Amino acid sequence: MAENTNVLMDKLAALCKRRGFIFQSSEIYGGINGFWDYGPLGVELKRNIKDAWWEDIVRKREDIVGLDCAIIMNPKVWEASGHVGGFADPMRTCRQCKRHFRADQLDDLFLQSEWVKSLGDFITPTGDKSFILDIDEVTRWVNKKGKKLAPGLAIVRNYSVTVSWLAERLQQAQAIGFQELLSFLATEQLNQTGLVVPCPFCGGDLTDPRQFNLMFKTNVGAMEDSTSVAYLRPETAQGIFANYRNVLDTTRIKVPFGIAQIGKSFRNEINPRNYTFRSREFEQMEIEFFCHPSTADKWYAYWRDARYNWYVGLGLTSSKLHLRDHEKEELAHYARACADVEYEFPFGISELEGIANRADYDLSQHQKFSGKDMAYFDDETKERFIPYVIEPSGGVDRATLAFLCEAYCEDTAPDENGAAQARTVMKFHPRLAPVKAAVFPLVKKDGMPEIAMKIYGQLKAAGLATFYDEKGAVGRRYRRQDEAGTPFCLTIDGQTLTDQTVTVRDRDTLHQDRIATDKIVSYVQEHLR
């Protein structure tokens, strides 16, 4: 299973590089971990996702307004929110390869580890989540795979010492648990160190967990001292809370209402991984919805369902999309309820968006630290109260990756001679597709390029992202657009010259229609909804 999912992720990443969806940032200098660039197709896909969110959340509603806050804010904002004192993850470091890991993610990393997966060469499951080892097989693994895959592992570094007490341990118990097995293989001097937790990359031993603050520090002004310290924002929400009173004072909006924002955030992740899923620079699309405390449960249920259905409506219709309610022990100390919209990526089920009932925690904190009144006065009921907040917070980059994964498909399509040919196709929802239509003259003569350019210009003038291609066989041009996810390809051929119709090929069904040239723009617009 792991190999299959890794192959799928590798294929998708290769397509994203080849077709210009996603590039490694600073690639010509060897890249930089946790940072990604979006290419010509990727930036259109990502922008279409943001535009769809903004259209559905802000422009189609009367109870939500937009905001665009600064990335760097007064450091006191982060003191009030708790980020300065408590925004940290437990970190461990490998003493051999010097990699850093979040302590709470080690189990997932072990599942992806190449050397851990190779242990199947010499362990035999007993059926009760424990294993039986054969020392001779362990020896063969060390010489065959261990030295290459896990050079930092104790049994590889110092085989004679480690294997002697491992053999002694195996005499005491016939079977051992999996985590125990990993620790035994990683422990060189049991009597001095106790069991050691191994590195999922090289097998080396890890340091004890220590707290690591995830905020990026910077300095504002000419002097670099304690008085000039500031932070790149780790989330967009606090800018909304800090401007809550400004929005009330400058608009006629009344509770219940929401403030929406799309913007960049930055977290110095200990271990960025899983392609673009966990990055150090990322983009959020976030709503803070302010309501009366007595209606908070109702609004939480509304947004919980609405946000899940938004993803379904844009094409995440498979069984890979989940809506999961948090258990009580998962909730933040201030949260009354929380649910995650999750997607089953090739590397596992992970969160796309969280919907939380944050109660009045955030506004109360900013009232306390700033001294500014955050209470809302209801003109009708004459009641003053601090609103509760329902927060749907989604990741733009995570959503982009989910739509890429969902769209990726391998099937067959007929070539110019009608023979079945394998193809890779990105089946994006038309609303999200980076390119909406491609225009092809069948040949570069007989006036076909001129007609094709005219149609291309009409589509562009209508605001539709359109691609023009006259190079190569039309079948190969179709394949290129299939990989780009273009819903419609328009071919100008000999019949166009006589009856002013063109062939329209549907990306998913491969069905071809002939439509009049003067109907093309309206046809494409209608089928993009």
Q: What is the pLDDT of residues 458-509, one digit of tens each?
A: 999 999 999 999 998 898 999 999 999 999 999 999 999 999 999 999 999 9
Residues 374 and 247 in one domain: yes
335 closest CA partner among 312, 357, 310, 308? 357
Instruction: Write down the residue that tokens 């998962």 correspond to.
Output: 330
- The string of pLDDT tens digits covering residues 272-287 is 888 999 999 999 999 9
Q: In the numeric block, which tokens belong to residue 472?
A: 């190569």
For residue 183, pLDDT over 90 is answered with no
If pLDDT is split at 50, 70 and 90, which confidence band does 80 have?
very high
Q: How confident is the model at residue 436, as a pLDDT? A: 97
424 closest CA partner among 147, 14, 134? 14
Q: What's the rounded Cα separation, in Å, for the pair 486 and 428?
A: 8
Residues 381 and 314 in one domain: yes
Residues 389 and 255 in one domain: yes
- 134-154 in b/e form (b: 16+ CB < 10 A) is eeeebeebbeebbeebbebbb
Residue 100 falls inside a structural domain = yes
Q: Which residue has the higher pLDDT, 172 or 2?
A: 172
CB-based contact 89:214 (threshold 8 Å)? yes
Residues 26 and 49 in one domain: yes
Task: Among 183-187, 323-327, 373-377, name the one with the lowest average pLDDT.
Answer: 183-187
Residue 409 falls inside a structural domain = no
489 closest CA partner among 457, 449, 456, 526? 456
Task: Among 157-166, 327-336, 422-431, name the one with the lowest average pLDDT.
Answer: 157-166
CB-based contact 499:402 (threshold 8 Å)? no
Residue 147 falls inside a structural domain = yes
Residues 74 and 100 in one domain: no
- The string of pLDDT tens digits covering residues 137-171 is 788 888 888 889 989 998 888 888 777 777 776 66
If pLDDT is split at 50, 70 and 90, which confidence band does 351 have?
very high
CB-based contact 2:114 (threshold 8 Å)? no
Residues 235 and 381 in one domain: yes
Q: What are phi and psi of 486, to 5 degrees?
A: -70, 120
Report the CATH number at residue 43. 3.30.930.10
Residues 389 and 439 in one domain: no
DSSP helix/strand/coil, 454: helix
What percentage of the chain carries pLDDT values higher than 90? 63
Q: What's the rounded Cα separation, in Å, for the pair 465 and 430?
A: 11
Instruction: Write down the residue that tokens 């470091």 correspond to.
Output: 93
Q: What are phi and psi of 281, to 5 degrees?
A: -125, 125
What percentage of the chain carries pLDDT values higher than 70? 93
Domain limits at 139? 90-210
Q: Which helix (H) or strand (E) segment is 246 a member of?
A: helix 244-250
Q: In the numeric block, which tokens belong to residue 443?
A: 């040949």
Residues 128 and 163 in one domain: yes
Average pLDDT over residues 406-410: 95
For residue 208, pLDDT over 50 is answered with yes
288 closest CA partner among 246, 236, 330, 332? 236
- DSSP E strands: which ranges in 214-320? 217-219, 229-231, 257-266, 281-291
CB-based contact 396:446 (threshold 8 Å)? no
Average pLDDT over residues 193-203: 86
pLDDT, mean over the chain: 89
Number of H helices, E strands in the chain: 21, 26
For residue 2, pLDDT over 50 is answered with no
Q: What's the rounded Cα separation, in Å, for the pair 520 and 522?
A: 6
Q: Which residue has the higher pLDDT, 192 or 44?
A: 44
One-character DSSP codes across 140-180: HHIIIIIHHH-TTSHHHHTHHHHHHHHHHHHHH-S-EEHHH
CB-based contact 429:419 (threshold 8 Å)? no
Residue 423 falls inside a structural domain = no
Q: In terms of residues, how long is the chain?
A: 529
- The string of pLDDT tens digits covering residues 306-330 is 999 999 999 998 889 999 999 988 8
Residues 190 and 246 in one domain: no
- The string of pLDDT tens digits covering residues 224-247 is 887 888 999 999 999 999 999 999
CB-based contact 143:155 (threshold 8 Å)? no
Average pLDDT over residues 123-149: 73
Q: How many CA atoms lie within 13 A of 232 on its CB side?
A: 15
Q: What's the rounded Cα separation, in Å, for the pair 408 and 16?
A: 11
Q: How confident is the model at residue 197, as a pLDDT? A: 87
Please give the distance of CA 44 from its chain centroid, rounded to a whole number.
16
How many domains in the chain? 3
Q: In the numeric block, which tokens belong to residue 171?
A: 């005499």
Q: Which helix (H) or strand (E) segment is 484 a member of?
A: helix 474-484
Residues 200 and 307 in one domain: no
Q: In the numeric block, which tokens belong to residue 313?
A: 């409506």
For residue 4, pLDDT over 60 is answered with no
For residue 356, pLDDT over 70 is answered with yes
Residues 301 and 187 in one domain: no
Residue 49 falls inside a structural domain = yes
Cis omega (within 30 of 0) for bond into 40: no
Q: What's the rounded Cα separation, in Å, for the pair 51 and 46?
A: 9
CB-based contact 433:376 (threshold 8 Å)? no
Q: Which residue has the higher pLDDT, 125 or 176?
A: 176
What is the DSSP-derived secondary structure letter of residue 216?
P
Report the CATH number at residue 459. 3.40.50.800
For residue 124, pLDDT over 60 is answered with no
Q: In the numeric block, which tokens belong to residue 215?
A: 């905020």
Residue 419 falls inside a structural domain = no
Q: What's the rounded Cα separation, in Å, for the pair 510 and 496?
A: 20
Q: What's the rounded Cα separation, in Å, for the pair 224 and 11?
A: 46
CB-based contact 293:330 (threshold 8 Å)? no
Residues 40 and 115 in one domain: no
Residue 416 falls inside a structural domain = no
If pLDDT is split at 50, 70 and 90, which confidence band does 418 have?
confident
What is the DSSP-derived secondary structure letter of residue 146?
I
Average pLDDT over residues 60-87: 91
- The string of pLDDT tens digits covering residues 14-31 is 999 999 999 999 999 999
Q: Which CA distances in Å does 266 have to 34, 50, 103, 233, 426?
A: 10, 18, 20, 6, 30
The identity of residue 495, as a single letter, is Q
Q: What are phi and psi of 252, to 5 degrees?
A: -100, 15
- The string of pLDDT tens digits covering residues 245-274 is 999 999 989 999 999 999 999 998 877 888
Average pLDDT over residues 294-301: 97
Q: What's the rounded Cα separation, in Å, for the pair 280 and 390?
A: 26
Choose one of 355, 388, 404: the last residue of a domain. 404
Q: What's the rounded Cα separation, in Å, for the pair 45 and 42?
A: 5
- The string of pLDDT tens digits covering residues 34-73 is 999 999 999 999 999 999 999 999 999 999 999 999 999 9
Prediction pTM value: 0.81
Average pLDDT over residues 397-423: 88
Q: How confident is the model at residue 3, as a pLDDT? A: 43
Q: How confident is the model at residue 243, as a pLDDT? A: 96
Residue 23 falls inside a structural domain = yes
Choose one of 163, 178, 210: the last residue of a domain. 210
Q: In the numeric block, which tokens belong to residue 387?
A: 């609103």
Q: How confident is the model at residue 320, as a pLDDT? A: 94
Choose one of 180, 210, 240: the last residue of a domain. 210
Q: Which residue has the higher pLDDT, 331 or 165?
A: 331
Sign of the alpha-carbon dihedral angle for 152, 156, 160, 163 = positive
Non-local CB neighbours of 451 within 8 Å, separated by 6+ positions? 441, 492, 496, 497, 517
